[in-house]
Amino acid sequence: MRWRRAIRCPSAEALVIAACAAIALSLRLYQLARPGYLLGVTEYDDGVLFGNALRLVTGVIPYRDFAMVQPPGSMLLMAPAALLAKVGGTAWGLAACRVLTASADTANVVLIGLLVRHRGPLTVGVASGLYAVDPDAIAAAHTLLLEPWLTMFCLAGALMIFDGDRMTADTRRLVLGGASFGFGAAVKIWALVPLGVAGLLLVATGRRRRRLRPAAALAGGAALGLGVPLLPFVALAPGAVARGVVIGQEVRNADGHGSPIGRLADLAGLHLLPVRVDNGLSLLIIGVAMAACYAAAGIRAPRHAARRRQAALDTYALTGALAVTAMLLWPRLYYSHYGAFDGPFLALVIALPAGLLSARLGTRGTPGGRAAVAALAVLALVAAGTLQFQAESRLRGIQAAAAAAADRLIPSGACVLTNDAAYTVAVDRFYSDIKGCPPMVDSFGTLIAMATGRSRHVSASVLRPVVELWRTDLGRAGYVWLTGNTAGQIPWDRQLYGYFRGHFRLIGLAQPHWSGRFIPRPGLYVRVRIVR
């Protein structure tokens, strides 16, 4: 009968989690409801990630038959949507992926709440609420990107290995938690960072004689979670997997620009403020406020446990936040949606001491102070949600006129070669009925994988295999759709440019501005006879 009472009388923590999840889902679905955001083009990466799955379900092997620079986890997750796309079309398949990603990111709000539910409704509300309105998390959830799925598997792993404030001693839970972290690494190798933090914490908090056993169980589960999806592709193309996933991505991070202060400001969501602020001063104020909150809370539970050591959950949250933030500050390459992976840790390091501080105020006979903390938290979350809603109202994706033009100019089943697969996916021209059509999905990934992660500004000998691949693929294509400036994706030289100009004619979707020597104008081209 206990389960019936639980259904009739949900706990305060469950109600708070449900409310935060509803807010999160509303913001993410409203984002998808903006013009062009469900069926249009808003990103480069989603076309690549879904395109990989579309190739896989037709029997084309990634890494071996075409370049891929991500681990296979996201491709395997999207394989069911890719199968449905063979019936309903790739545009609706991508739309399904976007809805699934928004749902996965909403699940992250629930997982954060479950992780801290033993700390009370205020802690749950701050932790889940902060992630629900996190600008970087919402940006990552607008389409098929890796961070929402990566975060989901890492939070699920943390939920398995933590039993309240302590780390569990249950070997089965540790293995399952490690497997969840491991599959998270199969989505994106960043999952190894929080996994490593959890492993070190297990060693540090374990009993002397059996200190390594829990960490070994966690590591074994992680090896299983990562190895099962990865090893089949390693067996088929070991060199290509190493070049694309490990070497290429590592060297790629040497490109890009941006100051650490700017990234920290992005992680803090300062760009949403209606007025311009000094990032350095604002970050200093936030840091001082968080330090004061930690000092006031004492990183301890209320008076009855005042002598207890710092809880393992607090240590994991703080150490994980420092490690993930440092990871995001280290490489030169950075995009806003990267910050979504730091969102749960930042939410936890704010929520945990805030909840402890509120509990201490309540036990010292000042319930008014506890109510004030809760009121401030609610006001802050409402303000952040309002700012996020206003930012989303200005979003626009690809125009319907462009999609209609592409649908008219490109026959169904034609062989289309493009530098941005998101466009061919969005207009249902990704698949071809012509035998021998090039399987390339990721033009930029192909460049960094075949050039060992280096940019196009390297020697001609390094770029020669990539140039030859494009020359071969151009020879097989009936249409070529170039979007934006292709200089960073296609290694144009005099010979490749000359071949293109002699074999293809611009027929539409031309963009007005472009620059660069031996770089074709962006637009849609059709194959013609050689001009002599």
CB 324 within 8 Å of CB 136: no
**Least confident interval from 4-13, 79-88, 185-194, 279-288:** 4-13
| pLDDT(434) > 50 | yes
Residue 339 DSSP label: G
416: nearest Cα among 404, 400, 427? 427
User: How far apart are the C-alpha atoms of 173 and 389, rounded to whole Å?
Assistant: 39
Structure-model confidence comparison of residues 462 and 161, the more confident one: 161
Residue 63 DSSP label: T
**Least confident interval from 143-147, 236-240, 389-393, 503-507:** 389-393
Q: Mean pLDDT over residues 53-75, rounded? A: 95
Structure-model confidence comparison of residues 299 and 107, the more confident one: 107
Say which amino acid occupies 454. R
243: nearest Cα among 63, 497, 105? 63
Q: Residue written as tokens 């908090």?
A: 205
The pLDDT, as a whole number, for residue 369 is 56
63: nearest Cα among 187, 252, 245? 245
- CB atoms closer than 10 angstroms to residue 174: 27
| pLDDT(3) > 50 | no
Q: What are phi and psi of 42, to 5 degrees?
A: -130, -10
**Least confident interval from 67-76, 93-102, 280-289, 418-427:** 280-289
Strands 523-527 and 504-508: antiparallel
User: How far apart are the C-alpha atoms of 467 and 120, rounded to whole Å?
Assistant: 60
pLDDT tens profile 486-498: 888 899 999 999 9
128: nearest Cα among 44, 276, 12, 217? 12
| pTM, full prediction | 0.90
Residue 523 DSSP label: E
User: How far apart are the C-alpha atoms of 214 and 142, rounded to whole Å?
Assistant: 38
| pLDDT(269) > 60 | yes
pLDDT tens profile 277-309: 666 766 777 777 777 777 766 654 444 444 345
The pLDDT, as a whole number, for residue 301 is 46
- Record the tokens describing residue 395, joined without a space: 């979003």
CB 219 within 8 Å of CB 203: no
Q: Mean pLDDT over residues 461-473, rounded? A: 92
- CB atoms closer than 10 angstroms to residue 268: 19
Q: Mean pLDDT over residues 511-519, rounded? A: 77
| pLDDT(222) > 50 | yes
Say which amino acid occupies 15. L
pLDDT tens profile 138-187: 999 999 999 999 999 999 999 999 999 999 989 999 999 999 999 999 99
| pLDDT(322) > 80 | yes
- Record the tokens describing residue 64, joined without a space: 């071996």
| pLDDT(120) > 50 | yes
| pLDDT(445) > 50 | yes
Number of Cα atoms under 13 Å in the Cβ half of residue 134: 34
Residues of the chain with pLDDT > 90, as a percent, come to 59
| pLDDT(469) > 80 | yes
Q: Which residues have CB under 8 Å from 213's CB, separation 6+?
A: 171, 206
The pLDDT, as a whole number, for residue 256 is 59
Q: Mean pLDDT over residues 107-134, rounded? A: 94
The pLDDT, as a whole number, for residue 308 is 47
The pLDDT, as a whole number, for residue 515 is 67
Structure-model confidence comparison of residues 403 and 40, the more confident one: 40
